[in-house]
Structure 1
Amino acid sequence: MVKELEVGDRAPALSLPDQSGDRVSLKDFMGKQVVLYFYPKDDTPGCTKESCDFRDSIAPIKKTGAVVLGVSFDGQESHQKFIKKFTLPFTLLSDEDKAVAKAYGVYKEKSMYGKKYWGI
């Protein structure tokens, strides 16, 4: 069973490559608020809507001093295309082995139309 994080829990360490291949760690943002969101796949309907909602809300988010980081299982090239296609003004991280999603408790067994599967 996957343990979900709760309010007040310490965020698990995170060090992942971004869309440019540079490693990004949570410790890089020490003292800042980080909006970390997980999504299953670049350029799919629900994930695109979620990412574009963050894009459209970026001004008030930045006013608070927070940064937005998106995390999916896609690679660097996919992230580059997704950012360009939808003009996403924030960093996307590649969690190709799903280790970070598992550490955050967001990769878990789900059910759709009676079929069980693992995902975000």
Structure 2
Amino acid sequence: MPATVKRLLMMIFVLVAAGTTLTWMVFQPRSLPVPDEKVAAMELLAEKLSGPRYFHAPVSGIQDVNGPWIDVDEARQQQDRVIQERKLDAGQREELNRLISRLTEPQPARMVGGYRIQLERLNLALDGIKK
């Protein structure tokens, strides 16, 4: 095979390879960043567990990596509203009191004092109270 034919074939090969690479780069589907599953799940859960039938985080609520927290006193203040919205009877009221007591845990910084409840856990457990 003459040298010019070899060069011509080599140039065609290079052009085809470059064109294929360029086409792949241009038309490659853009990948979206994958969200953090835990953050996404907590956002969906907080959205689902909102409304007058649930406990709400106060404006000055405690926020950390485990989500929002509510003071026990604030939960007790909201308890009557939740009971009225859900139309709970006396037995269910007692069950709600036991639930609040069971989910209560001390503040991590003992100097702050007081007790707190993780809001999403409380609202999820609230849905478990049978009507």
Greater length-normalized contact order (CA 8 Å, ≥ 6 residues apart): 1
Larger strand fraction of residues: 1
Larger helix fraction of residues: 2
TM-score band, normalised by shorter chain: under 0.3
Structure exhibiting the larger radius of gyration computed from Cα positions: 2
| TM-score (normalizing by structure 1) | 0.25
